[in-house]
Amino acid sequence: MKTFCNALFLGTLSFFLVQCKNETKSETTISPKNEIHYAKGFSIENYFGYSVVTVKNPWPKATKTYTYILKEKNGIVPDSLKQNTIISVPIKTIVVTSTTHIPSLEMLDEVNTIVGFPHCDYISSEKVRARIDAGNLKELGNNQDLNTEVLLDLQPNVIIGYGIDNKNPTLDNLQKSGLKVMLNGDWNEENALGKAEWIKFFGALYVKQKEATAIFTKIEKDYLKTIAIAKMAKNKPTVLAGDMFEDRWYLPKGTSWGSLLLKQANGNYLWQETSGTGSLSLSFETVFEKAKSADIWITSGQFSSLKEMTDVNLHYAKFDAFKNKNVYSFSGKKGKTGGILYYELAPNRPDIVLKDIVKILHPELLVGYQPFFFEKLK
């Protein structure tokens, strides 16, 4: 009987150990679902003790993907992943290189972890400017030629870089010096909600994925609600965008996120049938012929008054939208040192941008709402 009990015990223990082994294996080798739904440029997969962040499209037509392992305390990274950049999380210090990175950190309540930034004058965030004024955030020079000496002195847990192509020797040299670098491609997203979803990229660095998801879900909900409201409009005003720069008129291509926002706001953007996600470059004559009778004109943000526009180009006054004073700009909201808030915050808050545009195009649908970014030029 004793032999039978021992055998039963050993058999049960063996079964239990096999189960534990299988559970551990499932936690570390079976790929879980991707946590990203709108963004095309990155993915997050969560495992037991670590996460895998894959950046797929850090710049247009990128052919290489970048894999980063975010390792929690006591997490065990499989040998098959150890050739990738491994970053211990939650991070305590960070260097970011684009103003579009800052709102995510502000929403996650992690502004105090930013220790360096290139061209600090571009920053509009009041909380970040307070850190700069207090000497807690260092100026790093040019984004394509970061001050290596300062960065090596700061020793941030991670540097968030971006590139317009595969050539950034500064970031390569920093990695060779032992610093951790992650690429961020939020600017390359075509979908407005895709841009905003990059908050989850930062959430993973601070082990705040739940908080990041909750923030994004609220943005998504408000964005989709505004689209539904815009569909109730009884008319679809024609829209002109952009303005002249060095003898060429730049305005969004038809499949860019700017064009998509105008479409979702139930506006008739006059170049919405064009293809591409960048900007069109047209002559004044071409634009005037098509848009001289446009109902609404949303400028690029380089002007703060109608007089400023005609001081630069008298021909702007020939457009009906100008004559009727239906010209709008986001240039009015600036940071302490002149940085335009729209460039910093808008990609992270498409819900606000969309509400602004709906209010401009269909003021009867959002009674009592005051646009946050845009204002009518006087």
CATH number of the domain that 317 lies in?
3.40.50.1980
pLDDT of 10 reads: 38
Clarify whether residues 77 and 172 are in a common domain.
yes
Same domain, 235 and 350: yes
Print the domain residue range for 35: 26-219
Instruction: Kindly state whether residue 294 falls inside one of the protein's structural domains.
Output: yes
Q: Note whether 251 and 203 are same-domain residues.
A: no
Predicted pLDDT of residue 63:
84
* Confidence at residue 277, expressed as pLDDT on a 0 to 100 scale: 80
3-state secondary structure of 298: strand
Helix (H, G, I), strand (E, B) or coil at 116: strand
Same structural domain, 268 and 143: no
Q: In what order do the strands lie in the sheet with 243-245?
A: 243-245, 248-252, 279-282
Residues 188 and 62 reside in one and the same domain: yes
pLDDT value at residue 87: 98
Say whether both 167 and 284 belong to one domain: no
Please give the Cα distance from 327 to 307 (Å, whole number).
12
Q: Both 245 and 315 in a single domain?
A: yes
Residue at which a domain ends, from 197, 219, 241: 219
DSSP secondary structure of 185-243? -GGG-SSHHHHHTTHHHHHHHTT-HHHHHHHHHHHHHHHHHHHHHHTT-S---EEEE-E
Same-domain check for residues 309 and 182? no
Q: Is residue 247 part of a domain?
A: yes
* Phi, then psi, of 320 in degrees rounded to 5: -60, -40
37: tokens are: 């739904």
- Same domain for 178 and 48, yes or no, is yes
* pLDDT score of 9: 38
Kindly report the backbone phi and psi dihedral angles of residue 371, in degrees, each rounded to the nearest multiple of 5, phi listed first. -50, 140
Both 30 and 126 in one domain: the answer is yes
In a domain, 18, yes or no: no
Q: How far apart are CA 79 and CA 242, in angstroms?
A: 52
Q: Which pLDDT does position 173 carry in this prediction?
A: 86
State the total domains in the chain. Answer: 2
Distances in Å between the Cα of 177 and the Cα atoms of 22, 152, 214 are 39, 8, 37
169 cis-preceded (ω within 30 degrees of 0)? no
CA end-to-end span of the chain, whole Å? 97
Per-residue pLDDT of the chain (378 residues; tens, 9 = 90+): 444 344 433 343 333 333 444 444 434 444 578 889 999 999 999 999 999 999 998 888 888 899 999 999 999 999 999 999 999 999 999 999 999 999 999 999 999 999 999 999 999 999 999 999 999 999 999 877 899 999 999 999 999 998 777 677 788 889 988 999 999 999 888 889 999 999 999 999 999 999 999 999 999 999 999 999 999 999 999 999 999 999 999 999 998 889 999 999 999 999 999 988 889 999 999 999 999 999 999 999 889 999 999 999 999 999 999 999 999 999 999 988 888 999 999 999 999 999 999 999 999 999 999 999 999 999
Rounded to 5°, the CA angle 338-344-346 comes to 125
